[in-house]
Every structure is written in C-alpha cells, then in structure tokens.
Amino acid sequence: MRFQSYTTLLLLLTVVVAAWMMPAATAQGDPNPPSISSNRGAWPLLRQWNMEEVRHYARWIEHIYYMKTDGGDVDQRQARLDRIITDPEMNLLEDPNFLGRGNAQLPRSTLMFCHNHVDCAKLGVFLPAYYAYRRGLPWMMSYVSSGGQGDVRTSPNNIPGGQLSSFTAGSVNNFFRNMTVGFSTGNFRVELNGRNAHLSDTLPVAIDPDYLLPGAINYLDGHTLILGTVSPYGELQFLNASITPTRDIYTYNGMNTVSGITPRGSQSDENEWAGCFHGMRIWRFPIAETNSQGVVTNVRRRTNEEMREFGFSTEQYTVLESLIEQRFIDMGDFRPTDYHAFVRLRMKSVDYIRPLEFMEQYVEEILDAYIFREDFVQAAWTNVQQNGPITFPAERPDENIFQAHGRWETWSSPSSDVDRRNKYHYLADWVRYAIDCFGMMPDFVDLTGLEAYEIRTQADLARALIAEKERIFDEHYMHYTNSRGERVRLTLTDIEDRLYDMSFDPNHPPELRWGAPWDSPEMEGAPERSTPVPSGSPVPMREAYELQTFYRSVGQRQIEMSILRGMFTEGFPVLYRFNEQIARCFYMDEPTEALSEWLAKNYPDEFGEEEEEEEPVIVPPLLPISMSVQ
C-alpha cells in the first residue's frame, strides 16, 4: 500500500493513535464524549460541562460518600484525601471505563500539597477541579476581596476580582497550588447582584432532584459541606473536612440543610439580595469557546442565564420569604411549616416513611459523630499538655472562636460542636416532620415497629416516638478517656443531658470537654487548667467555663467578636431537647380530616362516617417558639 502524501500518512496515524488511546468505555457510551481540543494551559481540554457531565460528576462524588460510609473497609471509611484519590476502589476516575479518554493521575507532590492544606472549603473546590482535570474539562476560581472590612470569611459580602483559569495556568501543579492557597469559605459570600457577581464561583440551585445532585455545596456561615447523596426520604447527606493536622474527611448524614439562610429582602431595603449567599449552591461551570474546528480559544464563566440549564434558581430565598410572611409553604396538597420539610418533600423518592426505622438508623449516626469527637478531644488534650495552654481569641476584630488563627483554630471545637448539636436536633426536626405528615397524609407514614402503641392521633404517635427514642438512647453508648487514663461510659441519654455542657475549650481536661458535672465523682481529680486571653491574666477554669455558657448553646457559627471576661451567662434562648420539642405535638389529640378517613378505613368498627371537609392542616412553626431561656 502506497500513500499519496506525507499529510495523508500523518492523518491516518493520528486516527489510529486516537483510537488506540480511547478506552473501551468510550465505545460503550461515554456520557459526554470528547468534543473539543486544546493543549494550552494547565491540562488538555477534551469536553464541555453539560448536564450529562454534571450527573457523571455526581456519580463520582456519591461513590466516594458510599465508600466513606457503607462500602469500604475500616481504612477506607477513615480515608483522607490522598487515600481517596489514589485508591482505585474509592476513586472511580482510576477506572478507565469511568474515566473515558482523559488525563493521568495528579503528580504525587501536587496531590500531597492539596492534602496537607485541606479544610472544608478547599476540599469543596478541590474535588470538582480534580474531576475537571482528569476528564479534560475547563475549571476556574475567583480571588475575592472583602466588600466591607476584615476577613473575607466573615465579611458582610465579598467582591470577585482576578481569575485563576486552567486555560491560562502554566501547569497542573501551578493551578492546583494557587487554587488551594487562594480559595476559602469567603469565596461563597458573593451577593447575587453585587459588584462582579458574574464572576462568582457558585450560584444558588433549585431544590429539585434533577439539579440538586451530589457535588453541590451547602454553605453555612463560615462552613462548607459537600452533598454526598440524597436518601430515599429526601435527606441531604454530606461530606465534610476538618482542619486538624490529620486532615480528616468524614460524613454528616442528615445534617441541618438550611441553617442560617437569609430570606430575600430581610437585611436591606435598598438591596433585596443582601446576605443571600447561604444554602445549597452549584458551581458556575466554565465554558470553553472554540473556533470552527473545535479548538479552544478562550475559557470564561457562564452567565446566570446560561446556568439555568444546570438549575440556577433563587427559590431558596423567596420560599423562606414566603414562609415568614404566611407561616407555611404552599405546595398544593401539602403546606409544610418549616423549610426542612419542604426540602424533604421536594427531594424524596419513596412513597412512605418509617419513623422507627429512621430513628434507629439515625441514632447510630449521632453516636458516630460523638465517637469521632473523642479522638479529637484526646488529641487536643495531648497538645495542651505538651505545648502549653492555648489563647482564647477574645475581643479580636478579625477573628473569633469559630474563625481564628493558630492553635485555637486547630484544637478548639466550637464549630464542630455546633454541627453535632444540630445533628442531634435534626432528629426531633425529622420526627416532627413525620408527625405532621401523619396528620396530612397518613398512608405516607408506615408505623411498622410501633404496633405495641395504640396510635389514633398525631399526639399518640408523638408519645410513642418519645418512648422509643428513650429506649434507643439508653441502649447506645460510647466511652471517653478521662485525665487519669480511665475509660468513662456515656450513653446517648447522658450525651443528650450534657448537650449544652460539653466544653469546646481545648485547655479544659477531657472530663469537662465531655460535660462532667462540677463536684461530681466523675470530675474528681481533674486538673485545673486556666484559659489565657490576649490581654490580662489567664481566666481560671471554672470561671472560663461559666463565661462560655452562651457559646455552648448556639445553633450556628457566630461572625461577631467573641468575648470571655464580661460575657453574659443567662437570659438567652436555648433550643429544647427532643422530648420537649416533640411534646409540643400533644395538643394534636383530635384526628385531622385525613386521619379520620384513614381511621375509618383501617378501624371501621371504631370510627363512624367521614367529617365535613376542612382546610389543610397547618402546624405552627417549630423553631421560633421551641426555646427555653438559659
């Protein structure tokens, strides 16, 4: 066979080499086959972001979550970033059938640089950037500056400025190192109509199963969670990262999904979107502009309008605005009275829920969260013993106990304790949702396991679930090691009783970190450890503990300056515990219209004809009036 020209031969060789490089998965159906080309920048570009690619990315994230919870061995469930990325069982991009045509693994030195700097925000941006690199997709991040004063992590709003783009970065290593150093939770604090808002890294997303997918970001005030999966019940379940020297990555299942969202128009008469940057968000996926041959000529941010294809929506803020105005959310047949119920009803994929089954599974997750806390408490106590006391960041303008620098940021636990308290309170939140659903749509609530209770009303269900919760909490326990090296047993009932007593101060001995009562046998022999402050003498242990009472009760991170000496110790609201929360349903001792129909169908000998049609049941809001005063 003779070739007519060198060009013909070169073209044939190119086709043969390309076919040889293409894995079998592409032939089987890559969800987003290569369609562009570029050898410029940090890595070759092969694909554009589209919804098929986003769903592929979601499968990758969901698999990591699965391996971190149910699918892996002990080491995989405890895996940190370097293990997640290099373990072929955990990282589907190591499978040629999932990767398709793509780029090689990150250089080891680059990966370890990212691993050694992991925190909640940096993990959030690393995962999509890494995925983009492996699949040959464009990626960008913005550098932000404060729109007010102080730290971008706590400023009222931030302004995007310069851009880091994979298309213009000099190398993979250069891109990932600059991204890791430059990205923080401050990148999420960009208002929708703020200056340079079109350059923001993320946008709010519709609460819709088609768009709210694994890989989405839940931005709370100063903290970031990565959506790992959505349970059949509509529970959003998250990946999280710590800033401890061990750089742990762990899961928070069923976390409070909307803590601290700002309703539209609630902060400023001049700017209806002021403060509207919390909640569920998606990445503003970059788009590669190409010439007629498909060669990339530029990479830019997608506009808000272009992002509607991916689910960009402001409904989180408008729905909360409606909830405040009319005390319920109108969903046609359903009128949930809190935002969490709205999220569950939107995201659920099942036809019924089983309250007892959910409680039994979720209690395991609460216990795991506190078992994980014990490892951290012991590491912090060791650090204090070896390196001396840690200064409480009191009255500092650019940091507080939740966002600090140095050893306090590393070894204190106010932020993660907020997460654990919210995790505990979420159980009552979910049970209240089940009780409300029982009144609105009884067939949606499966009472399996509760046959011993005579359940005819919502109040009956509330009493039954309180009794079962007490049984389950008494049966579940953990141990902590006290300052003398002895193991101390705590049931979940003990932890519940001490919910607002467990110290976050790393200077305190383990007994106090776990809320041991003063003057109790458990506290006997615990060493005295004062807490230093930036100015003045150290604060004695008991005094510091009393002055920290408010901070042990909050339900979200604070952005204001923290105070120790002179701090108030009473007069502030504290969220009720489970029993008190659910006991608020005891007034629901008469069947609703829907329940009357259900009772007549299931217990025809006990109940008569249907009552007249009534308006949909509206249950009073849970949180605003479910507080005690401390």
Domain boundaries, the chain: 31-308+316-347, 355-579
Residue 133 has pLDDT above 90, yes or no: yes
Residues 172 and 174: their CA atoms lie apart, in Å, by 5
Residue 180 has pLDDT above 50, yes or no: yes
Q: Which of the two residues, 58 and 365, has the higher pLDDT score?
A: 58
In this prediction, residue 345 has a pLDDT band, given cuts at 50, 70 and 90, of confident
Q: For the residues 257-284, what does the mean pLDDT come to?
A: 83
- Return the number of other C-beta atoms located less than 10 Å from residue 326's C-beta: 12
Residue 33 has pLDDT above 70, yes or no: yes
Q: What is the pLDDT of residues 437-457, one digit of tens each?
A: 899 889 999 999 999 999 999
- For every residue of 260-309, DSSP letters joined together read TPPPTTSS-SS-TTTTTT-EEEEE---EEEE-TTSBEEEEEPPPHHHHGG
Q: Which helix (H) or strand (E) holds 51?
A: helix 51-66
| Whole-number percent of the chain with pLDDT over 90 | 66
Of 615 and 239, more confident: 239
pLDDT at 245: 67
Q: Read off the pLDDT of residues 545-587 as tens digits, 9 standing for 90 and up.
A: 999 999 999 987 777 899 999 999 998 889 999 999 999 999 9
Flag whether pLDDT at 291 surpasses 80. yes
Q: What does pLDDT average to over the chain?
A: 88
**Does residue 344 contact residue 234 with C-beta atoms inside 8 Å?**
yes
Residue 578's nearest CA partner among 492, 517, 514, 478 is 492
In percent, how much of the chain has pLDDT > 70? 90
Determine contact, residues 582/427, Cβ cutoff 8 Å: no
User: Would you state the pLDDT for residue 242?
Assistant: 73
- pLDDT given for residue 81 in this prediction: 95
- Cα(25)–Cα(95) distance, integer angstroms: 9
- Please tell me whether the overall predicted TM-score, pTM, comes out greater than 0.75 for this model: no
CB-side exposure of 378: number of CA atoms within 13 Å? 14
Res 615: pLDDT: 57
Mean pLDDT on 96-123: 95
pLDDT at 3: 34
pLDDT value of residue 505? 97
* pLDDT exceeds cutoff 70 at 244: no
Q: Dihedral of CA 177/180/181/182: which sign?
A: positive
Among 321-335, 342-356, 364-378, 499-513, which stretch is predicted with the lowest mean pLDDT? 321-335
**CA atoms of 38 and 287, how far apart (whole Å):** 13
Residue-wise pLDDT tens digits, 185-238: 999 999 999 999 999 999 999 999 999 999 999 998 778 999 999 988 888 989
What's the pLDDT score for residue 260? 67
pLDDT for res 625: 36
Question: Which one, of 153, 106, 112, 151, lies nearest residue 129 by Cα?
Answer: 106
Model confidence at 629, pLDDT cuts 50, 70, 90, reads low
Quickly list H helices, 183-268: none
Q: How confident is the model at residue 335 (pLDDT cuts 50, 70, 90)?
A: confident
Which amino acid, one-letter code, is at 234? G
Confidence class for position 622, pLDDT limits 50, 70, 90: very low
Query: Which pLDDT band, with edges at 50, 70 and 90, does 15 fall under?
Result: very low
pLDDT at 27 over 60: no
Per-residue DSSP letter, 617? P
Which pLDDT score, from 0 to 100, does residue 249 have? 76
The token pair that represents 52 in the structure block:
């098929």
pLDDT value at residue 263 = 84
pLDDT for res 57:
98
What pLDDT sits at residue 24? 35
Tell me whether strands 287-290 and 627-629 are parallel, antiparallel or unpaired.
unpaired
pLDDT at 255: 47
Q: 470-514 pLDDT, tens per residue? A: 999 999 999 999 999 999 999 999 999 999 999 999 999 999 999
Q: How many CB atoms lie within 10 A of CB 384?
A: 18
Question: How confident is the model at residue 10, as a pLDDT?
Answer: 34
